Copies of this chain bind each other. A is one copy, B any other.
Amino acid sequence: MSETAYVDAIREALFDEMERDERVFVIGEDIGVYGGAFKVTDGLLARFGEHRVIDTPISETAIVGAAVGAAMMGMRPVAEMQFADFASCAFDMITNFAAKSRYRTGVGVPLVVRGPSGGGVHGGPFHSQNPEAYFAHTPGLKVVQPSTAYDAKGLLKSAIRDEDPVIFFEHKFLYRRVKETLPPGDWTVPIGKAAVRREGRDLSILTYGAMVWTALDAATTLESEGIDAEVVDLRTLFPLDEETIVASVAKTNKAMVLHEATRTGGIGAEIAAVLSERCFEYLDGPLLRITAPDTPVPFSPPLEEFFLPNAEKVCRAARALAGY
């Protein structure tokens, strides 16, 4: 059987859900005729027509706003941000209208805002951001980021079927670099559940998105050095799957968080808090954060390489931690 790339898995999820449920439609910039800047929506227009594949003006607030309204009318909109960075232009609509509607008025807003985040492709400061922590600090939203094609498809389906607004971050570095054979049929991956990607006894690397692969790389190196790392793919960033995190750390007694987003106030901070609260007795060493530094994402390749976490940095931290 042929392998499906991460980007194609996302398209399949959209396609399947649009076939399954006529309330589902997609809306965004250049998603119709062009099929999206990354071709995620390629072919949807031909199949579903321009009523359900809506090309919009350059108006992120209107895109998300229209999704909010349509969701209130009973539809299931999937709004694309051409780059996740541009969600900043719909920030109010996402964090105040979509996130708070159910709580304030009992009117749920089942919508998905999805788009490519992350660096590694020399996109510069505005096409490489990882803004997930902004949304993970916003009650009412759910925040998801798949690392595999399987999860990309299964989580997006869950996101579309969810009764609440889900912010779905795809990692653009993975679009065509990650592939696998997907099972046929209609399956989903639940929101709110992490996955242990590699079992290990010595320390837990808690991570998500493209960094899952970095962690697995590092784990291979570490193994050869006698350090047995467990790699936990968080998958859902809000609400966190605290049970899986706690179980892992209770077993390994040492933890590090790895993410591509900048350090201060990132998802790693929240995990530190969860571990402080729930795993104090289990921790035999400090929680280390391997993240991008607190700077914008630089453009030039040597700068971006320096900026991004990589397996070597993970190994270095893991060795220090193992020494505790």
Contact = CB atoms under 8 A, between A and B. Distances in A.
A112 to B, nearest CB: 20
Contacts of A264: 136-137, 139, 238-240, 270
Contact of A91 (B88, B103, B265, B267): B88
Instruction: Give the interface residue-count category, chain A.
Output: 35 or more
A96 B88 contact: yes
A136 B293 CA distance: 14
Interface in A283-319: 283, 285-289, 293-296, 298
B139 A262 contact: yes
A92 interface: yes
Given A273-B289, A280-B283, A126 B296 contact: no
A273 B277 contact: no
Each complex incorporates copies of this chain amounting to 2
Given A126-B96, A137-B262, A273 B280 contact: no
Contacts of A104: 125, 296
A133 interface: yes
A134 B134 contact: yes
Contacts of A239: 264
A296 B96 CA distance: 9
A171 interface: no
Contacts of A99: 296
Nearest to A134: B134
A269 interface: yes
A133 B265 contact: yes
A266 interface: yes
Contacts of A294: 139
A198 B109 CA distance: 46
A216 B238 CA distance: 32
A133 B112 CA distance: 23
A308 to B, nearest CB: 15
Interface string A41-54: 00000000000000
Nearest to A88: B92
A173 to B, nearest CB: 21
Contacts of A140: 295-296
